[in-house]
């Protein structure tokens, strides 16, 4: 299994009494883009948040099963969750830059990790902003507040911020759903470039986007994983009828 980055075994999640994820088992391949699709409320975002243990923050949540990243179960008691989140970054649906300058937003992660030298930080900021394809737009105003950027720029800033801590895996929760078509295509291009270096998992409710950007697709429905496979196969020859119904728009 050396091409597998994440192996999920019978992962279930309970909000109190309600079972929101039902024994999910799948494998996320390394250095590819995996899309999670499904109708609203199917659990794809909940599942995504399990990968970097953000669901730990919600009271009354119980998680059973295993999530093995490079062979290590990240839900094991001895695992340092703060460290996990440095290696597994997340970009949220609605961009959430800090009310600080552009520079300080990107430098936040490295500073948290103890990097102090100005030269080193400057370098990290520039590399991250270049990787996120936004360096040229902001290089002359790094001291300006991040809140002054447009929606699409803010989202690319958040991606740069995530890249600045050098994660292995990048989780994206509908990163372009709040953006205009041009910004959306910029983000999709970015995803395509980033997969050389990172493993990317992207939740999307936009099937065309999933078909365009991903190598593998997993279809969720009512908390269960219905089908997963190469994107091409899922969209042309799905094995399960439910998958076919969703893809052809019979329900959404």
Give the footprint of other proteins on this chain (CB under 8 A).
Answer: 52, 54, 57, 59, 82-87, 89-90, 92, 94, 96-99, 108-109, 112-113, 158, 161-162, 165
Beta-carbon contacts of residue 248 (< 8 Å; ≥ 6 apart): none
Minimal distance in Å, beta carbon 209 to other proteins? 22
Choose between 38 and 109: whose C-beta lies nearer to other proteins: 109
What is the C-alpha separation between 171 and 158, in angstroms, rounded?
Answer: 12
What is the C-alpha separation between 236 and 169, in angstroms, rounded?
Answer: 28
Minimal distance in Å, beta carbon 5 to other proteins? 18
Minimal distance in Å, beta carbon 59 to other proteins? 6
What is the C-alpha separation between 103 and 122, in angstroms, rounded?
Answer: 8
- 42 CA to centre of own chain: 17
**Count of positions (residues) in the chain:** 252
Choose between 99 and 249: whose C-beta lies nearer to other proteins: 99
Minimal distance in Å, beta carbon 160 to other proteins? 12
Choose between 45 and 217: whose C-beta lies nearer to other proteins: 45
Choose between 96 and 150: whose C-beta lies nearer to other proteins: 96
Burial 175-205 (b: 16+ CB within 10 A, else e): bbebbeeebbebbbebbeebbeebbbbbbbb
Minimal distance in Å, beta carbon 52 to other proteins? 6
What is the C-alpha separation between 154 and 210, in angstroms, rounded?
Answer: 22
Minimal distance in Å, beta carbon 100 to other proteins? 8
Minimal distance in Å, beta carbon 62 to other proteins? 16
Choose between 179 and 247: whose C-beta lies nearer to other proteins: 179
Burial of 78 (0-12, 13-18, 19+ CB in 10 A): exposed
In 3D space, the residue among 114, 115, 105 whose CA is nearest the CA of residue 143 turns out to be 105
| Phi, psi for residue 100 in degrees, rounded to 5 | -130, -175
| Phi, psi for residue 195 in degrees, rounded to 5 | -65, -15
Choose between 30 and 85: whose C-beta lies nearer to other proteins: 85
Choose between 64 and 83: whose C-beta lies nearer to other proteins: 83
């Amino acid at each position: 299994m050396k091409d597998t980055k994440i192996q999920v075994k019978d992962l279930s999640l309970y909000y109190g009494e309600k079972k929101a994820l039902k024994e999910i088992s799948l494998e996320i391949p390394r250095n590819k883009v995996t899309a999670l699709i499904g109708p609203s409320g199917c659990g794809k975002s909940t599942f995504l948040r399990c990968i970097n243990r953000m669901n730990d923050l919600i009271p009354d949540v119980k998680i059973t099963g295993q999530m093995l990243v490079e062979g290590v179960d990240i839900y094991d008691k001895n695992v340092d969750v703060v460290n996990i989140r440095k290696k597994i970054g997340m970009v949220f649906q609605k961009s959430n830059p800090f009310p600080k300058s552009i520079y300080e937003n990107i430098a936040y992660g490295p500073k948290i990790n103890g990097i102090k030298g100005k030269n080193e930080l400057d370098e990290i900021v520039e590399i991250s902003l270049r990787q996120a394809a936004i360096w040229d737009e902001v290089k002359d105003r790094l001291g300006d507040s991040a809140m002054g950027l447009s929606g699409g720029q803010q989202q690319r800033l958040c991606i740069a911020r995530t890249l600045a801590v050098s994660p292995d895996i990048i989780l994206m929760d509908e990163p372009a759903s709040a953006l205009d078509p041009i910004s959306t295509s910029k983000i999709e291009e970015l995803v395509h470039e980033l997969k050389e270096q990172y493993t990317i998992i992207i939740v999307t409710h936009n099937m065309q986007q999933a078909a365009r950007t991903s190598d593998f697709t997993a279809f969720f429905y009512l908390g269960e994983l219905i089908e997963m496979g190469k994107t091409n196969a899922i969209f042309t020859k799905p094995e399960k009828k439910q998958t076919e119904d969703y893809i052809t728009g019979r329900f959404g």
